[in-house]
A and B are shown apart, each in its own frame.
Chain A
Amino acid sequence: MRRGIQIAATALGASVLLVLSACTTDPSVEPADNGTGQPSTEWFDQALFDKQDGERGVTPQGPQDQPYLQHINAEMVDTSQYTSPGAKKVCFANASISNPWRQTGWITMNEQLEVLQAEGAISQMETRDAQDSDDTQIADIDYFINEGDCDAFIISPNSTAAMTPAVERACETGKPVIVFDRGVQTDCAVTFIHPIGGFAWGIDTAEFLIDNLDEGDKVVALRILPGVDVLEQRWAAAEVLFDEAGIEAVDYFTGADPAEIKKIISDELAKGDVHGIWMDAGDGAVAAIEAFEDAGVDYPVMTGEDELSFLRKWKETGLVGLAPVYSNFQWRTPLLAVQMIFAGEEVPKEWVLPQSPITERELDEFLTANDGMPGGHYAKFGGEDLPGYPAVWQQRIIP
């Protein structure tokens, strides 16, 4: 009999849990998620949103055909204190090369390095790859400070808050520190290089979808992972705009796993029509489009990224799309900044690089320019004038 009681108790417990979870699925709870004009605001920063929104419309300054040297609304700083002749050793603490965007940039950076070595500006670059770990990167930076014999530090932080003290320690050495891509909470670096940012991405993409959809249409947002500021800001901006425009947006975390993406889209298509796809990064865009093909329904209006696999699928299917760009050519800028700093040239304190999406009008141009490049390559990689072009990127040999 005891066993019967146990079973009954467990069955009761299980059904209570099921009922409870069913309660949370009750439509009456749903408006908290969307519809009441209260999107999750944790990552939303109105001041930054407005700043980046403004920067989208600014014509960047600098050499016309070298976007990686252009800058927006720059406040220049004097670097004459660092002026020094000869080839310098650069130490690079890299967050990781674990996604196609970082791999493309890393290839470009190494090609840029060869040019600067030939020019005699840089003797060598010692790189440590933190493999997406804060702890590893802190250790890497401390190693460089203590034993690296570095003339300059380039840091691509793994995360914002955790890396701040280590960057400060690097600054205390008195040698020039250059931070790029993700930021840190200190302005001790000589220059912080980054494209306009996540809010600009969110605004570009959301405005495109809103322009091409009607009020009440449904957008599925596919997000890589939570908690990374550059990604969260993309969604924070888009979510606010969707909400204002009356677009029904539901978001999922996919880990960029194409199987997961396909399941999510299939389920959403089984639920009802999906009119738009929004992505916070283009990795997996092809799987999302394939899900529409497999279900035999019309293609959505879609925003991906300037990854070649998406651009090609976009062209092939003729869907209404936009490729937002998180300027991959920024990987060239830090090394060029090292050269400028040791030459005593002024650099922007905050070096905001241009960031403009690829539109349908420009699609053919970018596809032709990147003919023969692998699917994980990024159209705006900005390395066309480097000596290894195009073979190094075509073969995608990761240094």
Chain B
Amino acid sequence: MTLPPPRATTQPGAGLPSIGRRLANLGLALVSPRGAVFLLLLVLLVAIALLNPRFAEPEQFIRFIQRVAPIAIVAIGQYFVIVSGEFDLSMGSLITTQVVVAGNLIGQDDARILPVTLLMIAIGVIVGVVNGLVTTLLKVPSFIVTLGMMLALLGGVFWWTGGAATGNPSDTFRQLGRGGIRDLPVIEFLPWAVVVLAIALAAAIWFSKRPFGRAMIAVGDNVETARYAGIRVWATKTAAFVISSLSATIAGVLLVGYAGVHPSVGRGYEFIAITAVVLGGVVLGGGRGWVVAAVAGAFALEALFTLLNFADIPSTYRDAVQGVIIIAAVAYAAVTFRGRRQRPSRLAEPPAPSTSPPGEEPVVSATPAGSAPHPSGPDGTTQQGGQ
């Protein structure tokens, strides 16, 4: 697990900070909104390991990552939409659609895998483009557009299947979600899903650092300034929706392999993804966030579900316990964020450290102190210093 680097201590020319100061900074980073999700994840993982030491074994832990992979990938997709200032509520039903498409069209015929996979990608792109264009060109709030898309997709699946499961597709197609590389040292088994997640995360980090990725954050932060800066808002937001739909498609492929075909697969994933993204400190409404924290949010949520399984919480009030913990975590993130946003001008500080991670640094500043190159500010440490 990676922790966010205590960035404020890495200012150029600051010299080597003492160990005490490093620890203090690390602690502050962890209670800061962006670090909070990592702290929460750490606490949950430790709690699980205490309840069940076997969980900490590499083999078990890699399996945990395998099963979080689909939801983490959905969270990556949702991150791009949210950070550009929109919502995508159609992700869960798109997963369901893709799962049913795979089950019904591939069947046991391996020769159909390639054409059907291409069809699934096409469906993903079309859904994303429709979501994006209706939102940007027709100016319909994305909440409504994607809600409509969700119902349309679910209705289509219901019409097609009558609401019941069809057969699983061939085992070859399911390998990506179920199989992996066996007989490895230490972890013994490396699921393909973990590899896919690693690639998706790397691609997301890379993309966030590209101008187009930064443009998404700028658009989410302030549409007007982004437009004046020469960003094509409709294209940027539509791209975010396409990324989101494609990530749902990948998650669908993984879930078909992991679990199998059922019209309930994917149900609720849009809300789990939004919760994960918010838990990761990404601001609803756009403009602020870090994709790695969003993925950490997905891991924290799944760790929470696992903890509740391990803790023998009776099934009847499991959902309630889950809900309370999620509210507490999100409220914590919200309070710390609000605190930070209320004090914009005092955040002016020496020129931003070059190690600033992607997503943290908006391209276009929306703060009154327009000259401050780092309006959103690094967390805890700097603010502490300002008091």
Contacts and interface: CB of A to CB of B under 8 A. Distances in A.
Contact of A270 (B43, B60, B260, B339): B60
Nearest to A294: B178
B317 to A, nearest CB: 8
Contacts of B47: 22
B2 interface: no
Contacts of B308: 25
Interface string B297-336: 0000000011011111111100001001100110110011
Contacts of B340: 3
Contact of B262 (A1, A22, A96, A256): A256
Interface string B41-73: 001000100011011000010010001001000
Interface in B129-188: 158, 162-168, 178
B316 A10 contact: no
8 contacts: A6-B335, A11-B332, A18-B328, A25-B308, A97-B162, A97-B163, A99-B163, A99-B164
A270 B324 contact: no
Contacts of B387: 1
Given A256-B262, A259-B259, 15 more contacts: A3-B340, A3-B342, A7-B339, A10-B332, A14-B328, A17-B328, A21-B313, A21-B321, A21-B325, A97-B163, A103-B162, A250-B312, A295-B63, A309-B167, A398-B162
A145 B314 CA distance: 44
Given A7-B31, A270-B60, A283 B262 contact: yes
A262 B328 contact: no
Interface residues of B, number: 55
A272 to B, nearest CB: 8
B260 A283 contact: no
Given A17-B324, A17-B328, A258-B262, A253 B315 contact: yes
B260 A287 contact: yes
Interface string A264-284: 101110110000000000011
Interface in A1-39: 1-3, 6-7, 10-11, 13-14, 17-18, 21-22, 24-25, 27, 30, 33
A256 B263 CA distance: 9
Contacts of A258: 259-262, 264-265
Given A257-B262, A283-B262, A290-B178, A25 B336 contact: no
Contacts of B314: 33
Interface of A is mostly: helix
A120 interface: no
Interface in B245-281: 255, 258-262, 264-265, 267
Contact of A14 (B259, B332, B383): B332
Contacts of A17: 324-325, 328
A259 B162 contact: no
Contacts of B329: 14
Contact of A256 (B258, B264, B315): B264
Nearest to B54: A270
Contact of A3 (B158, B163, B167, B339): B339
Contacts of B163: 96-99
A287 B70 CA distance: 17
Contacts of B306: 263, 267
A216 interface: no
Contact of A30 (B259, B310, B312): B312
Contacts of B315: 223, 251-253
A11 B264 contact: no
Contacts of A264: 309
B259 A283 contact: no
